[in-house]
Structure 1
Amino acid sequence: MRTGLLLLCLLMLQGCGTLERADGPPPGHVDASNVPDAVPRAEPRSRSGNPDSYVVFGQRYYPLQDRRGFVEKGVASWYGRKFHGKLTSSGEPYHMLKMTAAHKTLPLPSYVRVTNLKNGRSIVVRVNDRGPFAHGRIIDLSYAAASKLDMLKHGTAPVEIRVIDPSPPATAAAPTSTVSRSQPLPAPSTEITAASTTILTSEAATEPGLWLQIGAYSSQANADKMEHRLRDAGLRTRIIAPSSNDTDALFRVQVGPLNGDSGILTARAILKELGLHPTGRPVDDTRP
């Protein structure tokens, strides 16, 4: 037990960027505005990062057992390149281009909506780390999350955080022509038919723009596995199912919509971290 608590403390001190430090953005120009918000979904508590209590700098903290209805106002900060790739308190590697955050007491993982009280900007992040431990701060955001709240320049911002309870999977029967799939978002699954092609939609599937194909699978189960992996990485996805006229009968997994060259570069950077290197060119849905 003592060894486990020691490991937790080491992970918190290593992975969380809430201590005073020299940190910075990713190398080169990265347009994080194209990184999609975290998609709330029901998840079990992580095996690490959820002790009954823990101590940092002589202060004892008690992680919550029930997150429902949690709302908090205070100061947010962010952490970036210095901690990229290091383990968070939940045991997951920190990725500065994902929509994640650190909180001292929320169960890991949790999903929260963070609103910048200065400019009204709002995002959804997945809390998978412990912190911040600097005085007066309530949440530590990834570089991508801080960028979308427009708080990189000042380093901190007054925010409100509000827990999001993931909706239960949809149980209603799907239309005959649509393969039944449960969605973690409140919006129900829909079917879009164009040129005899069925699109199994995510929340982004109906949006026009550039879509990058990641793979094509003869089994829908394998396509679903890839889609879940991509969504866990913070990418928006869709699966295009084969129509009765298709000879190859493949389920095509795509990510998007991507906003121009910067969106494509951001998506490829995330895909590279997953060991995926799609070689095809994005398809433009805005063209007839």
Structure 2
Amino acid sequence: MRVLIFSLCIACLIPLVGCGKKHIASPQGYPARTKAKPRTSSTYTVWGKNYKTLASSEDFVQYGKASWYGKKFHGRKTANGERYDMYGMTAAHKNLPFGTILRVTNMQNKRSVIVRVNDRGPFVEGRIVDLTHTAAQKLGMLGPGVVPVKLEAVGGPSHSTVASSKKSKSGTYYVQIGSFGDKFNAQTLKQKIVREGRSCRLYQDVSSSIWKVHVGPYLTYTAAERAKRALANKFSGAFIFAGK
């Protein structure tokens, strides 16, 4: 009788084996991003390797290979806390500050796109940038998957600009909340901010043909800092600069 009871107990336990928390595998060459937290520090570690983010993206140029990531990560949090949008125009880079605006040129067909850095990666040897599905499509690299590219920083947060702003507390300051290659997209964002009751302007960077959306002006750095904090939830890459 005892043997029968023991056998029944073992039989009941067998279906429970392996019912622990299910592991979600990530694609080859990528760390799991299911619980990504915003990384704002200057250093971070992935797979036991330390990476350091640059203080500024000014004059940044880099050559290497680009790849893209799509549906598997759509809707998940990126390293800066935003939701990854495979149909947007963003990118992952290991070292550039969040909010950096990059011109990415496919060296094989000379097509270029403008993207904003909001994620970290790719953590694959030889690759320097990960692009969204849409950005990859515009570059003509969906099929090949990996192509040689040139990266050029054409806008974004500048460490030197913010530092100089803090030294001078009075003047004219703006909060940049976005940069676009398409004027219509920049105009749409401006109108949205104006409807919220904030002063806003468009500024075209002639050298790069980028349309920038500036909230302001503010007469003190403190006022600009308050505005930046209020906008932080929607625009995590927002930054302050001294302007005219």
Q: Is 2:211 aligned against 1:221?
A: no
Where 2:128 maps in the other structure, the secondary structure is strand
Instruction: Quote the RMSD (CA, aligned, Å).
Output: 4.2
Aligned to 1:111: 101
Structural mapping, 1:150-161, within 5 Å:
150-161=140-151
Q: CA deviation at 1:203?
A: 2.4
Q: Residues 167 and 102 from structure 1, CA distance in 2 versus in 1: closer, same or farther, beyond 3 angstroms?
A: closer
Structural mapping, 1:187-266, within 5 Å:
203-204=183-184, 221-222=195-196
Where 1:75 maps in the other structure, the secondary structure is strand
Q: Residues 144 and 223 from structure 1, CA distance in 2 versus in 1: closer, same or farther, beyond 3 angstroms?
A: farther
Distance 2:77 2:177 in 1: 26
Q: Residues 133 and 18 from structure 1, CA distance in 2 versus in 1: closer, same or farther, beyond 3 angstroms?
A: farther
Cα pair 1:97 1:144 within 8 Å, conserved: yes
Name the % identity.
Answer: 41
Greater percentage in strand: 2
Distance 1:95 1:121 in 2: 22
Q: How many residues align?
A: 156
Report the TM-score when normalising by structure 1.
0.45
Q: CA deviation at 1:109?
A: 1.9
Aligned to 1:84: 74
Moved over 6 A (4+): 182-186
Aligned to 2:29: 19
Gap regions ≥5 residues in structure 2:
1-23, 32-36, 159-174, 203-210, 212-244
Report the TM-score when normalising by structure 2.
0.53
Distance 2:129 2:39 in 1: 16
Distance 1:59 1:183 in 2: 33
Structural mapping, 1:127-206, within 5 Å:
127-165=117-155, 203-204=183-184
Cα pair 2:97 2:157 within 8 Å, conserved: no
Rg (Cα) greater in structure:
2
